[in-house]
Amino acid sequence: MKDVIVLGGLNMDLIVETSRLAGPGETVEGTRFYTAPGGKGGNQAVAAARLADDAGMVKMIGRIGEDGFGEEMAEFMQNEGIDTSLLRRTKDTASGIAVIFILPDGENFVNPVYGANAFCDEEQSDDIAGVIAGTGALLCQQEVPLQVTFASIEVAVGAGVPVVLDPAPVREVPSDFYNSVTVLTPNQNEAYAMSGIEVLDVPSARTAAKRIRDNGIESVIVTLGELGAWVESSDFSELLEPFKVDVLATVAAGDAFNGGLGVGISSGMSLLDAARLGMAAGAICVSRDGAQQAMPTRQEAETLLASQA
């Protein structure tokens, strides 16, 4: 396995479990509150680190504030064996946070305030350029400024490193933004936003993936939750069947998938095998509380893969 670099957001999750969302002017009492390290970048880094061969093979690139939340997130990643030597602190700025409401069926609603993440700049793409040699995959999302993500993708492409991009949160991007992406991994809502096709089932996922791929993207994987994942590339056009688990919370399911996918790619797996590893990671994640704490180990993921081989 080669190293995995993760560029992305770091947010402290403020999680509220509730029977339902409150309406305008209404108060609905929640049932539980807790905090947990999160952010799409942090989540993907932890997912990858728990699946990686050795400590230090996952490098986190991003920004936190000089505050308690930032230090708590950095310490958690360090304890997971993630290389945080290029994680930069931003003065006079709060670390990112995300308020997450979880309903009884596990569905989640997320309201982030990106804080220090918004201050990512050319220092982050330069940091990636300095460590790109020997890297097997670059994982990106859209929680940091788009120009930083784009510059980092170009660095990776120039070095021949595959790029996995989670197009979340959905943003308006330049027409050529995704041209150099190796694998794009939208969920159903993101696929709808990008294709104009409402993704409600497997046939609509296939149609949306084809339309998205027509923009010049090498491979598109539409994650479908309990329906599995649709893989669309020059070599594959097929559904990967889901793993059957009891869903507790869907927080960070997509991040677990991307972390597993990135590790698979950096290990030399085929796209389908790497996606299956990502799906196993996502399935285990949704069966647990939290985000980064819910990510599985390699042994747990391989056990689930073997059980449904």
289 pLDDT band (50/70/90 cuts)?
Answer: confident
**What percent of the chain is predicted at pLDDT more than 70?**
100
Average the pLDDT over 111-140 and give the result. 97
**Among candidates 171, 187, 70, 84, which has minimal Cα distance to 117?**
70
Neighbours of 106 (CB within 10 A): 16
Per-residue pLDDT of 192-249, as tens digits, reads 999 999 999 999 999 999 999 998 899 999 999 999 999 999 999 999 999 999 988 8
Class for the domain spanning 3-18+33-307? alpha beta
pTM (two decimals): 0.93
Per-residue pLDDT of 46-56, as tens digits, reads 999 999 999 99
- 198 vs 207: CA distance, rounded Å: 10
Q: What is the pLDDT of residue 84?
A: 98
HEC states along 185-240?
CCCHHHHHHHHCCCCCCHHHHHHHHHHHHCCCCCEEEEECHHHCEEEECCCCEEEE
Residues known to be catalytic? 255
Please identify which residue in the block is written with the tokens 């061969």: 53
Per-residue pLDDT of 92-101, as tens digits, reads 999 999 999 9
The secondary structure of the chain in percent helix, strand, coil, rounded to multiples of 5, reads: 40, 25, 40
Per-residue pLDDT of 279-288, as tens digits, reads 999 999 999 9
- Does 177 score more than 80 pLDDT? yes
Tokens of 245: 């688990």
Q: Where are the alpha helices (DSSP H) in the chain?
A: 40-51, 68-79, 122-131, 146-158, 188-195, 202-213, 253-266, 271-286, 298-307
290 pLDDT band (50/70/90 cuts)?
Answer: confident
For 88, the enclosing helix (H) or strand (E) is strand 87-90
For the chain, which residues make up each domain, given as ranges?
3-18+33-307
- 127 vs 107: CA distance, rounded Å: 36
- 293 vs 282: CA distance, rounded Å: 13
Average the pLDDT over 115-126 and give the result. 98
- 25 vs 247: CA distance, rounded Å: 31
Q: What is the pLDDT of residue 175?
A: 86
Q: Report yes or no: 184 and 275 within 8 Å, Cβ to Cβ.
A: no
In terms of C-beta density within 10 A (0-12 exposed, 13-18 middle, 19 or more buried), how is residue 225 classed?
middle
Q: Report yes or no: 211 and 237 within 8 Å, Cβ to Cβ.
A: no
- 239 vs 237: CA distance, rounded Å: 7
